Structure 1
């Protein structure tokens, strides 16, 4: 099953995603997509590692090409992809160039689907976009279009979509029990 968790910055979406993972049995993987570029990034990673330390995650740091990840075939393994916003940015702005939103969207969605086939539960954290009403430079707008397209595609494919608003989980699309 694919669970998409979205929300604004500081909304509590990561904490909610981790709660979804606590319900999972079997091996739990945390796929970290952030590229550390400075001291602030290092501090953020250290803080996240400390928060997750006792939650039983196996951390995989993969800033691009999440479709290349090989999850060992075990019963009931789950993965938390944190976060789609970083992944799309890393794919789009790789090697000092700006890639087109369409191919980036297709690649990221294909990679996520491949990853999702390897686990019983895939929880994906992403950010809401286009809510601030600000017009940005062309590169940033292209990124926002790509992230928005990825979010729409993953939401369509997901079994459950939840928006977290000020720490409150609002179900947008509910998982249907297969029994």
Structure 2
């Protein structure tokens, strides 16, 4: 049985997006890819193009750098919604100086109301040293709180390290 709600965690360039895409394909449902990145430079454009090529066909892409609720409401019971990624979504809100607690609460409410299966990708940022920059410390703390809240809601939590998935909660389909 495919989990209703899955969280895929990992460090930068750990293979978490590839794993989340492969997991999503196993659902055999209509697949929606919710992209949270914003293109600010050529490097990001190249990375996004690589992700598009990597996941191949069979996906409907929704751009949602800030408000994920409409994307989640647009998916129904026969769909799978892959959100890549919560870290970029959080960064967007932090840099826009939005209230992160309010945004997180709205995101969690949207997950609970969504009738589709949801897979969300997020970075694990808590393994490093304490940053010397206040903005980075604020981000790290907010990302940690978001990951804890997402994991609490999830039926399946997988951490990907060096492309290798480790199940932290639940069972892989």
Query: SS in structure 1 opposite 2:100?
Result: helix
The 3 A distance-change label for structure 1 pair 73 and 63 is closer
Shift of residue 163, structure 1, vs aligned partner:
0.5
Cα offsets for 1:125-161 (capped at 9, x unmatched): 0111121114231111111111110100010111111
Shift of residue 25, structure 1, vs aligned partner:
2.5
Give the aligned partner of residue 19 of structure 1.
22
1:67-82 to 2 correspondences below 5 Å:
67-69=69-71, 71-72=73-74, 74-82=76-84
Q: Distance in 2 between matches of 1:12 and 1:73?
A: 25
Query: SS in structure 1 opposite 2:131?
Result: coil
The 3 A distance-change label for structure 1 pair 136 and 66 is farther
Pick aligned residue for 1:4 from 4, 7, 14? 7
The answer to whether the Cα contact below 8 Å between 1:63 and 1:87 also exists between their aligned partners in 2 is yes
Q: Distance in 2 between matches of 1:128 and 1:70?
A: 23
1:44 aligns with 2:47: yes
The answer to whether the Cα contact below 8 Å between 1:105 and 1:150 also exists between their aligned partners in 2 is no
TM-score by length of 1: 0.86
TM-score by length of 2: 0.89
Query: SS in structure 1 opposite 2:78?
Result: coil
Q: Which moved more, 1:161-170 or 1:45-54?
A: 45-54
Q: Distance in 2 between matches of 1:154 and 1:106?
A: 15
For the aligned residue pairs, the C-alpha RMSD in angstroms reads 2.1
Shift of residue 69, structure 1, vs aligned partner:
2.4
1:57 aligns with 2:53: no
- Unaligned segments of structure 1, at least 5 residues: none
